Amino acid sequence: MNDADLGFARKILAEQPFSNLVGARLIAFGGGEATLELDIRQDLLQQNGYLHGGILSYAADNALTFAAGTVAGASVLTTGFTIDYLRPATGTLLRSHGWVVRSGRSRVVCRCDLFAVDEEGAETLCAVAQGTISVLPPSNGS
């Protein structure tokens, strides 16, 4: 991974207001893979005390798209994704790891594993996702 690429990707993440709201951090970016983390906080839980599914979906969406960006550049946009919740997410940290399955000229297919991490650092797989990311055409102004 190139530190300049990670720095640029972190700048893009920082420009997303919702990512700032949930406190997302990009910890790895390059070689067809991207990993995001966010702290599991009380204000992100649902009524049963588990991390809200919407937060898991957000983390999957961004990990999928950032993974695609490692091979297709910054002009990418999620076309669609599916997520399967395997078990409730509890712990102190959510880690979302996305990777490219296949990269084409106009679309990139990616997968993502989401892990809840406890105080000792043990990971529990809590959701999996797969998505298609569109590569946007160059704008006429660039």
Q: Distance between CA atoms of 41 and 50, rounded to whole angstroms?
A: 10
Q: Distance between CA atoms of 121 and 6, rounded to whole angstroms?
A: 23
List pLDDT tens digits, range 47-59: 999 999 999 999 9
Which CATH number among 3.30.830.10, 3.10.129.10, 3.65.10.10, 3.30.360.10 corresponds to the domain 3-135? 3.10.129.10
Q: Distance between CA atoms of 121 and 37, rounded to whole angstroms?
A: 13
- State which amino acid sits at residue 118: D
Q: How confident is the model at residue 8 (pLDDT cuts 50, 70, 90)?
A: very high
Judged against a pLDDT cut of 60, whether residue 2 lies above it is answered with: no
pTM: 0.93
Exposure on the CB side of residue 124, measured as CA atoms within 13 A: 15
pLDDT score recorded for residue 73: 93
List pLDDT tens digits, range 91-116: 999 999 999 999 999 999 999 999 99
Give the domain ranges of the chain. 3-135
